[in-house]
Amino acid sequence: MKTALITGVTGQDGSYLAELLLANGYTVHGIISRSSSFNTERIDPFYRDPHDPEARLFLHYGDLADGTSLRRILENVRPDEIYNLGAQSHVMVSFQQPEYTADIVATGTLRLLESVRDYQAHTGRSVRIYQAGSSEMFGSTPPPQREISRFAPRSPYGVAKVAAFHYGVNYREAYDLFVACGILFNHESPRRGETFVTRKISRAVGRIRVGLQENLYLGNLGAKRDWGYAGDYVEAMWRMLQAEAPGDYVVATGVAYSVGEFCEEAFSAAGLNWRNHVRVDPRYLRPAEVQHLCGDATKARNELGWRPTVAFVDLVRMMVEHDTELAQQERTLQAAGHKVKPHTAVPA
Ligand code: NAP
Ligand code: G4F
């Protein structure tokens, strides 16, 4: 049975990928960051205490900013596959923390590649690496974007992902490492972080629906994204590492909608008219925007046999249903006298 190591295991994708790999019989090791509050909410449902003989998911403290921890974990875990999903992944935050974003997203990837290069050289074992690239790398290049489209990033996050992508390709060419770079378009789910626009919308719809909130404040309603379901996209990551040779693959649905259209669909799923509740607040506008992303995943379909299974409307409904349930729980607790509030202090 194979052993996998995941950076960013506590994130949206990390949690779906860990579940997929466990279901495929893998032993899974995840790197988690030290936090003053719990950050394992997404993996708690399937995590088992390590004393349980059935446990196959193990967690290690480490950080992409800390090369020593990466090397130590690699030596202990001896993985067959590494999925590098760890990142400061918020585009707007990358304008506020560009150096930190570059350090984790770009240099963090370099630290990991260097660790694997040395590890392979002294153990003779080979390791396959998945590098989490992003459609944000295409930036202002018009759609449809495919593997050969020009990278023209519009944010410090996008620039850092382009650097990480090129590090991956360079280590593949220079040291013959098996590095596959996924260029994934936006993918969402009920586990999506609440500061990304889709989840911000579905959370608000749930709360407005049950009477806990009146308005939702957003930035650019005209930006278009190619939104898929995260559960489908981690399957593509896994397939990339099962291929005979490493390559770069766009993963996308091929259909794009605007933020306004996402609002319309989400509010109407709850029997609401979005125009009565959505307001524009300029604080959510970005210094430079990526206006239109829509991917062409022909290569992934032909070479990996991958295709998306969840359509836009079903994705929106899945998120709205989930978040309506959360809002109902919040209302029940409030009615019973508990002081509960969502994390509204975090700017999104
Ligand atoms: P996410 O939910 O934001 O998860 C990011 C993960 O990285 C979290 O587990 C986070 O830990 C961890 N992390 C943050 N800083 C770290 C550090 N210094 N060292 C190690 N780990 C660190 O992101 P996601 O949506 O799952 O995305 C996964 C990867 O795919 C990211 O690299 C992202 O940039 C990329 N990507 C995402 C999309 C998308 O639409 N979701 C599209 C293209 C590419 P904490 O939980 O403790 O913060
Ligand atoms: O949900 P978003 O923050 O995602 P964005 O910027 O596309 O980035 C996500 O997808 C990338 C793949 O293309 C990933 F690499 C990255 O890690 C992340 O997962 O914003 C989507 C769009 C943007 O155009 C933004 O300007 O929604 C617009 N938007 C409008 N109002 C908003 C808001 N975005 C956020 N987060 N919050 C708003 O209030």
Dump pLDDT digits (tens) for 32-62: 999 999 899 999 999 999 999 999 999 999 9
Residue 243 pLDDT greater than 90, yes or no:
yes
- Ligand 2 atom 9, closest CA: 186
Enzyme catalytic residues: 134, 136, 157
- Ligand 1 atom 34, closest CA: 89
Predicted confidence at residue 341, as pLDDT, reads 73
97 and 172 housed in the same domain: yes
Where in the sequence is the domain holding 115, given as residue range(s)? 3-189+227-251
Predicted confidence at residue 340, as pLDDT, reads 77
pTM of the model: 0.98
Q: What is the pLDDT of residues 99-138, one digit of tens each?
A: 999 999 999 999 999 999 999 999 999 999 999 999 999 9
What percent of the chain is predicted at pLDDT more than 90?
Answer: 96
Predicted confidence at residue 197, as pLDDT, reads 98
- Ligand 1 atom 33, closest CA: 89
Rounded average pLDDT over 214-222: 98
What percent of the chain is predicted at pLDDT more than 70?
Answer: 99
210 and 131 housed in the same domain: no
Cα-Cα end-to-end distance for the chain: 41
Assigned domain for 299 exists: no
CA distance 347 to 166: 31
- Provide the domain count of the chain: 2
CA distance 84 to 130: 6
36 lines ligand 1 (CB under 6 A): no
Which residue in the block uniquely carries the two structure tokens 């059935």? Answer: 54
144 and 37 housed in the same domain: yes
Q: What is the pLDDT of the chain when averaged over all its residues?
A: 97
Q: Which residues line the pocket of ligand 2, CB cutoff 6 A?
A: 89, 91-92, 134-136, 185-186, 195-197, 200, 218-220, 223, 225, 259, 284, 286, 289, 293, 348
Six token digits for residue 132:
């989490």
CA distance 341 to 42: 19
CATH number assigned to the domain comprising residue 330: 3.90.25.10
Predicted confidence at residue 201, as pLDDT, reads 98
184 and 220 housed in the same domain: no
Assigned domain for 56 exists: yes
Residue 285 pLDDT greater than 70, yes or no:
yes
- Ligand 1 atom 14, closest CA: 87
Which of these, 160, 158, 157, 151, lies nearest to 248 by C-alpha position?
151
| β-pair partners for 182 | 132, 249
Predicted confidence at residue 206, as pLDDT, reads 98
Taking CA atoms, 301 is separated from 118, 186, 342, in Å, by 34, 17, 39
246 and 326 housed in the same domain: no
Six token digits for residue 105:
């997203």
Rounded average pLDDT over 152-171: 98
Q: What is the pLDDT of residues 204-216, one digit of tens each?
A: 999 999 999 999 9
64 and 210 housed in the same domain: no
Ligand with an atom nearest the CA of residue 250: 1
Predicted confidence at residue 347, as pLDDT, reads 67
139 and 282 housed in the same domain: no
CATH number assigned to the domain comprising residue 50: 3.40.50.720
Atom of ligand 1 nearest to the CA of 191: 2
236 lines ligand 1 (CB under 6 A): no
C-alpha 86 to ligand 1 mean position (Å) = 4
Rounded average pLDDT over 154-164: 99
329 and 246 housed in the same domain: no
Which residue in the block uniquely carries the two structure tokens 């935050």? Answer: 93
C-alpha 90 to ligand 2 mean position (Å) = 7
Mutate to test the pocket of ligand 2, among 13, 183, 202, 225 (most ligand atoms within 8 A of CB): 225
Predicted confidence at residue 151, as pLDDT, reads 99
Residue 156 pLDDT greater than 70, yes or no:
yes
Predicted confidence at residue 319, as pLDDT, reads 98
- Ligand 1 atom 3, closest CA: 89
C-alpha 197 to ligand 2 mean position (Å) = 6
Predicted confidence at residue 339, as pLDDT, reads 81
CA distance 149 to 115: 30
Which of these, 120, 208, 101, 213, lies nearest to 159 by C-alpha position?
101
CA distance 229 to 226: 10
Mutate to test the pocket of ligand 2, among 196, 218, 346 (most ligand atoms within 8 A of CB): 196
Q: How many CB atoms lie within 10 A of CB 129?
A: 25
Q: What is the pLDDT of residues 64-91, one digit of tens each?
A: 999 999 999 999 999 999 999 999 999 9
CB 12 within 8 A of CB 19: no
Assigned domain for 303 exists: no
Predicted confidence at residue 348, as pLDDT, reads 64
